Structure 1
Amino acid sequence: MRILFTTFPWHSHHFPMVPLESAALAADHEVRVASAPGLMPIVTASGLPGVSVGRDVDLASLSNDRSRAAWHVQSRWPDDWPVRPGLLNDEQFALIENLGRMQAVMASAMLDDLLDLARYWRPDLVVHDAVTLAGPVVAAALGVPNVSHLWGTPGLQRIEMRRMGSEPLPEYAELYERVGAAVRTEPTAWIDPSAPGIRYPAGPTCHQMRYIPYNGPGLLPDWLLRERTGSRVCVTWGATSMALRGGTVVELVRQCVEAAAEVADEVVVAVTEQTARALEAAPLPDRARVAVGLPLHLLMPSCDLVVHHGGAGTSMTAAAWGVRQLLITTRPEPTVNGTRLAASGAARHLMTEEVPAAQEGVDLLRAEMDRLLSDPAHGTAAQKLADGMRTQPTPADLVAELTNLAR
């Protein structure tokens, strides 16, 4: 069988698909992974056959456009809004729909080349990241099934639909008009790798899959090959947050590191080179070790606690290893991860706006970390979450199900 995988060019949306793509290759299916040129080095470094399509679009500029910039600095939205959209107000719906319009722009930049590839290669199935709108359009043009691959945050993603309902946004419908195909408002199937302990109920077309942590290639440093001598806390802030919000996150990261150094024997600051350079403006505590570009799936098994921004990759990697978490979030989607993980008992959650500046914020963060490390109930809940994830079908199991869809 030929399977065409596609995602818009952002590594945090590619990484969750890598285990399924690799499983399909291992099952002797033909695989192509298509995205814009900027993602190709990351795709090929994952050991997958990549195909460059379309052109790169400045995602940071699109995300920080006046109509979307507010998405990154939201207060707490109503709990369970992904499955109860009626709780949202008009302003919140407008933000979600503007994200859908942004993804339509990303899809438009990929669409022509992706369709040319698909018409030449003739895949039996298209598997696409859940917000990569070129995927279902191309599948419709070819008349083959399309599978929407989620990335670990609970809830189905419907940013291309008006008010998260059944009517497509005009910009989404226009993509189908361009290829002469009928609009698809539902995929043939969904793949949901979120943890059983936090996911929302979904219908029969939603296939559960075990989240297999993959955060990119990397080398194990020497210090990870030795037994640790005390407690270890990881502080990490995603590349997405730094790329989209820049220096606004650096002070918060520094507060987290200072607080962690007061409760742990060792603090590993796992960040991008950009964040590491920004942190050099002032000394970090002696107990802090900066690790640039270290994949979290290599680090997480050795940690007692991870403090982070709430991204799905970090949240699910920590959950898979049974690591307690402190999530500090500002965007609505990571906030869903924070509220659901906190409700499971495996984590504690704060909104960024709840963390005061300077030492007062450090004191609050230290108290939160101390609760997580000292209360065994959090460790028990984190392990229960990990145990539940291990009961889920593996990517290899899902490949067999995908084969049936294409028949």
Structure 2
Amino acid sequence: MRVFFSAGHGMPAALRLVLLARQMQAAGHEVRFSGPARARHRAARAGLVPVLAAPQRFSRAWRPDLVVHDPLSPPSAAMAAEAGVPTLAHLPHVHEPLTPHPTVWLDPCPPELRDRTEPDAWPVRPDAYELPPRPAPWLTELPLLPRVCVTGIPSGTRPRDRHRARLFHRVAEGVESLGLQLVVLKGDDHPWSVALRGSVVVVHGGDEGTVYAAARYGVSQLVLPAGEEEQRAGKLLERAGVGICLTDEDLAGTDSMLRLRFHLAELVNGGRVLPAAARLGTAVADMPPPASLVPGIEALARTRTR
């Protein structure tokens, strides 16, 4: 069977596709992977065959039996629709997916963090491919102090980016003022299996890749939302009792540092947040792993080719 994977610009979603593509390839199927240069590079390092041509052009020439695509990428959705074969896509967390919808949704979101459901979606654990990590030795050691990871600090030069970067740096100052161990992760492709195993809190902007990674490892979350959808993700974490969402208004005023320290202390030592995050981690671990999808995908392709 020929399976074509098409990723969009979001690296966390692309890494979930890379992991599933490896599972399909290991099952003996022909796999090709299309996406932006960074995603293609990671796919190649994962042992997959990257596609350099435009997805639609390659799909017409290669004629896949099944397409797995990113529902937030217009080229991926258009290519999958044109292929005329069964399609699968990961259901986004809070973003509205593009149309047309795939034949089957794959839902990597724990039920506790989902506010709308697709009844026929296939649940799957939100695992993502990681290169064999080579972290600094101190990152692999059991931390002597509670560790707080900060990620997603904006690096742009727009006024909004600079303002949000200052909020993240203020949080970092609050972490250090409480005597906690601070780890700042740059970029959007992290060795979560190493960084989060020794962490108690992860601070981020509300992107689904970090939400899922922290949930996977039972870590509480502090969200500084970049926009309405990221704020919605933060509110879902609050509803589940595993995190706190702080907007610009929450961090404004002369007493903002005092409030911030209170919230950080609550996440590190709080009576309900840490147990709730640990329970969520257990629930995520019990979700079906990506490898369990392979028989269903094979059956879907066989049914459509009869």
Name 1:158's counterpart in structure 2: 97
C-alpha deviation, 1:355, in angstroms:
1.2
C-alpha deviation, 1:13, in angstroms:
3.0
Residues 324 and 346 in structure 1, CA contact (< 8 A), matched pair in contact too: yes
The 5 Å alignment of 1:368-407 reads: 368-407=263-302
The 5 Å alignment of 1:328-343 reads: 328-343=224-239
SS of the aligned residue for 1:19 comes to helix
Residues 146 and 268 in structure 2, CA contact (< 8 A), matched pair in contact too: no
SS of the aligned residue for 1:304 comes to strand
The 5 Å alignment of 1:118-267 reads: 118-151=59-92, 153-154=93-94, 157-159=96-98, 185-214=100-129, 218-237=133-152, 241-243=154-156, 246-267=161-182
Deviations 1:155-198 (A, max 9, x none): 7x3355xxxxxxxxxxxxxxxxxxxxxxxx33211111011211
Name 1:307's counterpart in structure 2: 203
SS of the aligned residue for 2:155 comes to helix
How far, CA to CA, are the matches of 1:150 and 1:222 in structure 2?
36
Residues 105 and 118 in structure 2, CA contact (< 8 A), matched pair in contact too: no
How far, CA to CA, are the matches of 2:206 and 2:119 in structure 1?
28
Name 2:242's counterpart in structure 1: 346
The code of the aligned residue for 1:375 comes to G
Distance 1:271 1:115, change over 3 A: closer
Residues 126 and 145 in structure 1, CA contact (< 8 A), matched pair in contact too: yes
How far, CA to CA, are the matches of 2:235 and 2:47 in structure 1?
35
How far, CA to CA, are the matches of 2:175 and 2:241 in structure 1?
20
SS of the aligned residue for 2:256 comes to helix
C-alpha deviation, 1:206, in angstroms:
1.3
How far, CA to CA, are the matches of 1:297 and 1:356 in structure 2?
34
Percent pairwise identity? 29
Runs of at least 5 residues in structure 2 that lack an aligned partner in the other structure: none
Residues 225 and 247 in structure 2, CA contact (< 8 A), matched pair in contact too: yes
SS of the aligned residue for 1:254 comes to helix
C-alpha deviation, 1:381, in angstroms:
0.5
TM value normalised by structure 1: 0.68
How far, CA to CA, are the matches of 1:327 and 1:390 in structure 2?
23
Distance 1:222 1:133, change over 3 A: same
Residues 219 and 294 in structure 1, CA contact (< 8 A), matched pair in contact too: no
How far, CA to CA, are the matches of 1:133 and 1:191 in structure 2?
18
C-alpha deviation, 1:8, in angstroms:
2.1
C-alpha deviation, 1:226, in angstroms:
2.4
C-alpha deviation, 1:347, in angstroms:
0.8
C-alpha deviation, 1:213, in angstroms:
4.3
SS of the aligned residue for 1:187 comes to coil
Structure 2 residue aligned with 1:362, among 244, 257, 265?
257
C-alpha deviation, 1:216, in angstroms:
5.9
How far, CA to CA, are the matches of 1:216 and 1:253 in structure 2?
27
Distance 1:405 1:260, change over 3 A: same
Distance 1:216 1:377, change over 3 A: same
Distance 1:13 1:353, change over 3 A: farther
Name 1:84's counterpart in structure 2: none
The code of the aligned residue for 2:60 comes to R
How far, CA to CA, are the matches of 1:37 and 1:317 in structure 2?
23
C-alpha deviation, 1:395, in angstroms:
0.4
C-alpha deviation, 1:366, in angstroms:
1.0
How far, CA to CA, are the matches of 2:83 and 2:140 in structure 1?
49
Residues 234 and 244 in structure 2, CA contact (< 8 A), matched pair in contact too: yes
Deviations 1:52-100 (A, max 9, x none): 23xxxxxxxxxxxxxxxxxxxxxxxxxxxxxxxxxxxxxxxxxxxxxxx
The code of the aligned residue for 2:97 comes to R
Residues 2 and 30 in structure 1, CA contact (< 8 A), matched pair in contact too: yes
TM value normalised by structure 2: 0.88
Residues 150 and 172 in structure 2, CA contact (< 8 A), matched pair in contact too: yes
